[in-house]
Amino acid sequence: QSVLTQPPSVSAAPGQKVTISCSGSSSNIGNNYVSWYQQLPGTAPQLIIFDDDKRPSGIPDRFSGSKSGTSATLGITGLQTGDEAKYYCGTWDTRLGGLNWVFGGGTSLTVL
Amino acid sequence: QVTLRESGPALVKATETLTLTCTFSGFSLTTSGMCVSWIRQPPGKALEWLARIDWDDDKYYSLSLKTRLNISKDTSKNQVVLMMTDMDPADTAMYYCVRFSVSPTKAFDHWGQGTLITVSS
């Protein structure tokens, strides 16, 4: 059971837009920056969003991030078949006075 | 160019201690703000953060695994070592070495390709 809650799967047609939610609490998302990772089949994850809404160089602006309260959202527009992957959100959790990084359970994106 | 490469035994037996080495290039763990973490992923399951070591030798561990983990660094060799004691078949996973930079990203911005560790009973 992950500390951050993501939907197991989402799907949309090529060219369409999809959003992936990540729900947490005040001990994690509510008070810490969220990052998002894309894991293509058989490969290591890749950072696609950091500091809630910033994109590393090389990540297309079709990918966007936002946060409100204790929830974060990843948006992908102009879907391509190459976007089919598993997406993870993550952030620090500061319960129990420590620093503990937590990931969501991951969301599989299918581009129909 | 930042690269990280994990190395370790592909197979360990239950109750043994796993030692993983991360050899990296393109940055230094003596540079303020640089950190290295270990993250694992059991087959078909989600990512799980294990530990982090910082440029100033601060160390952080997963709350659920901290009694079994030890992370250390050798800055002269650009290496980070993770030891995990009392291995169990449930620890079978891909283990990733990952750079975490406090600035600018505050995220895991470079990942190794991972090394698959299988624990036999």
Q: What is the pLDDT of residues B42-55, one digit of tens each?
A: 999 999 999 999 99
Alpha-carbon span B47 to A39, nearest angstrom: 10
Q: Which of A37, A47, A103 sits opposite B48 (nearest CB)?
A: A103
Burial class, A3, CB count within 10 angstroms (exposed 0-12 / middle 13-18 / buried 19+):
buried
β-pairing verdict for B3-7 and B48-54: unpaired
Q: Does B43 touch chain A (CB under 8 A)?
A: no
pLDDT digits 0-9 by tens, B54-91: 999 999 999 999 999 999 999 999 999 999 999 999 99
Please state the length of chain B.
Answer: 121
Going by the DSSP 8-state scheme, the letter that residue B16 receives in this structure is P
Q: In chain B, positions 10-29, which contact chain A (CB-CB < 8 Å)?
A: none
| Residue B121 Cα, gap to closest chain A Cα (Å) | 25
Q: Supply the pLDDT for residue A76.
A: 98
Going B110 to B115 to B116 to B121, the CA torsion angle's sign is negative
Rounded CA-CA distance B36/B27 in Å is 11
pLDDT band at residue A75, thresholds of 50, 70 and 90? very high
What single-letter amino acid sits at B60? Answer: Y
Output the CA angle B70-B71-B74, nearest 5 degrees. 135
Q: Closest residue of A to B99, CA-based?
A: A47
pLDDT reading at A98 higher than 90: no
Neighbours of B103 (CB within 10 A): 8
